[in-house]
Amino acid sequence: MLLIGTNFYGPGERHIGPQLDQAGGQIPDAHGYDVRTGKELWTFHTFPHPGEVGNDTWANDSWKNRTGNNVWAFALTVDEEHDIVYEPVSGPGANFYGGDRPGADLFGNALVALDLNTGKMKWYFQTVHHELWDYNLPPAPGLIDIVRNGKKIQALVQVTKSGYMFILDRVTGKPIFGVEERPVDKSNVPGEASYPTQPFPLKPPPISRVSFSHDDIVTGDDTTPEHVKACQELWDKFGGLYNAGPFTTFPYHAAGATTKPAIVFPGATGGANWGGTATDPKLGYIFVNTKDSPLVGWMEDNPRYTPGNPQGLMPYIRAAPSGLGFFSAQVHDASGRTIGNWPCFKPPWGRLIAVNASTGDFAWEVPLGVTDSLPEGKRNTGAQNSAGPIATAGGLVFVGATSDSRFRAFDSKTGKELWVTKLDYTASAIPITYQGKNGKQYVAIVAAVGGAGRGGASAPGGQGLVVFALP
């Protein structure tokens, strides 16, 4: 069988991202095909149709002709024993305004378990109700067997850009450690009806920063006096930044009005991104790399909007004051040359985390990445990162991902960094390991410039496949 989701652009095409500011556009579905005959075996509606589970979560028939809710994970996860395919569904358009779609908006931001033979839904788990942050689900879940209270449980692990890890029973979808709905910030954007609660796992703890206050701004112990001054000036320019904890909403900014921009963590590219997790079945550990990359801004009137426009453009869009989008500040050397653009919040800016799947606790966490442009003694900051790790039977975790262009190996049990090498390019891919004809084990990674986000040293242009032999 061939099991696929839906992407909105093909090889060589620009990612137009229609869901960012409009409701209309490409319509997604998930499909199963017979690879021998090409016959379509089933279709699953990620926007549930009338009579299907979840349709009632779209008030005013707002599911119709809507873009988003596509399954864009680069690979899906299958449980062959139970004939289940797990499909992580993205969010609905428009990402930052949902005034035209009151309700929880299933199956947006939800992990859906389907019978892979029929496409019928077995269960679902929604990680974000009524998307307003671009907290979609790019990574497919990982599978792991755990022991809890003396009982073996077949589990799965879904990580999110919203900064949380959900550990679920992969047969029933029930949370292993419990999930509770908690009240969250309420939007003041005209016409918006933000969802009053969001799901929070009782364990593990957040895997990324999910709140912010003035006390979290960098100090001289973190970076440099010049950088601290520039960050404080950014904060003071707007009389501070607004944050109300997890799921902070972007406030409405009317033209000419005085409004504090919101700073939202982990941000639309933060938390755990498309690289997902790796697992060590012997230790029962789950490994994930995460980053803090906030979005800063507000909602304002959309100058392109006209009532009844055929594109489904929304009346309000997210925007940020100039120079404030990621709350970072440039730093210069004595000659005035820019040497870095460092985050204005305290490090670590990126982490590698091991979670004990049987207890839900962190087994260890370490900063992932360095900032070469910082003074000696302050460089172990963690770095912006994308992609994910792999774990080997020999007790190692390999990960590239970081914007400092390094490739690293860690001890699976302790988190100690055992090996690191500097690459010519940014390794924004997941490594692979394989055995050669000579019986040796190799680790390979694709490295290409520009794929790991902001921060860190820039790499020369180009790309490459880099292969290492294990001793």
pLDDT digits (tens, 9 = 90+) for 360-386: 999 999 999 999 999 999 999 999 998
Distance (Å, whole) CA 366 – CA 360:
17
Contacts of residue 428, Cβ cutoff 8 Å, sequence gap at least 6 = 386, 387, 400, 401, 447, 448, 450, 451, 452
What is the predicted pLDDT for the residue at 458? 44
The answer on pLDDT for 456 being more than 60 is no
Distance (Å, whole) CA 415 – CA 436:
28
Give the confidence band of 459 by pLDDT, cuts at 50, 70, 90.
very low
pLDDT digits (tens, 9 = 90+) for 391-432: 999 999 999 999 999 999 999 999 999 999 999 888 989 999
Specify burial of residue 39 (Cβ count, 10 A radius: 0-12, 13-18, 19+). exposed
Distance (Å, whole) CA 254 – CA 129:
26
Sign of CA dihedral 240, 259, 245, 453: negative
374 SS3 class = coil
Distance (Å, whole) CA 248 – CA 244:
5
What is the predicted pLDDT for the residue at 9? 66
33 SS3 class = strand
The listed CATH number (3.40.50, 3.30.1890, 1.10.3430, 2.40.10) that belongs to domain 390-471: 2.40.10
What is the predicted pLDDT for the residue at 452? 41
* Spans of all domains in the chain: 2-385, 390-471
Distance (Å, whole) CA 161 – CA 151:
31
The CB density around residue 267, as the number of other CB atoms within 10 Å, is 26
pLDDT digits (tens, 9 = 90+) for 103-153: 999 999 999 999 999 999 999 999 999 999 999 898 999 999 999 888 999
Average pLDDT, the chain: 92
Tell me the CB-side half-sphere exposure of residue 252, using CA atoms within 13 A.
14
Contact 90, 72 (CB under 8 A): yes
Distance (Å, whole) CA 349 – CA 335:
28
CA 458 to chain centre: 23
The answer on pLDDT for 455 being more than 50 is no
pLDDT digits (tens, 9 = 90+) for 319-338: 998 878 889 999 988 888 89
What is the predicted pLDDT for the residue at 162? 96
Strand residues in 320-423 grouped as ranges (E): 328-332, 338-343, 350-356, 361-367, 390-391, 396-399, 406-411, 417-422
Gyration radius of the chain's alpha carbons: 22
Least confident of 115-129, 231-245, 300-314: 300-314
Q: Among residues of the chain, what percentage have pLDDT more than 70?
A: 94
pLDDT digits (tens, 9 = 90+) for 36-66: 999 999 999 999 999 999 999 999 999 998 9
Distance (Å, whole) CA 106 – CA 184:
19
What's the pTM value of the predicted model, to 2 decimals? 0.94
Distance (Å, whole) CA 375 – CA 371:
9
Contact 52, 68 (CB under 8 A): no
The answer on pLDDT for 198 being more than 80 is yes
Give the confidence band of 449 by pLDDT, cuts at 50, 70, 90.
low
What is the fold, at CATH topology level, of the domain defined by 2-385? Methanol Dehydrogenase; Chain A (2.140.10)
Mean pLDDT across the stretch 265-280?
A: 93
What is the predicted pLDDT for the residue at 231? 96
25 SS3 class = coil
Which strands, in side-by-side order, build the sheet including 151-159?
142-148, 151-159, 165-169
The answer on pLDDT for 203 being more than 80 is yes
395/25: higher pLDDT: 395
Mean pLDDT across the stretch 436-441?
A: 96
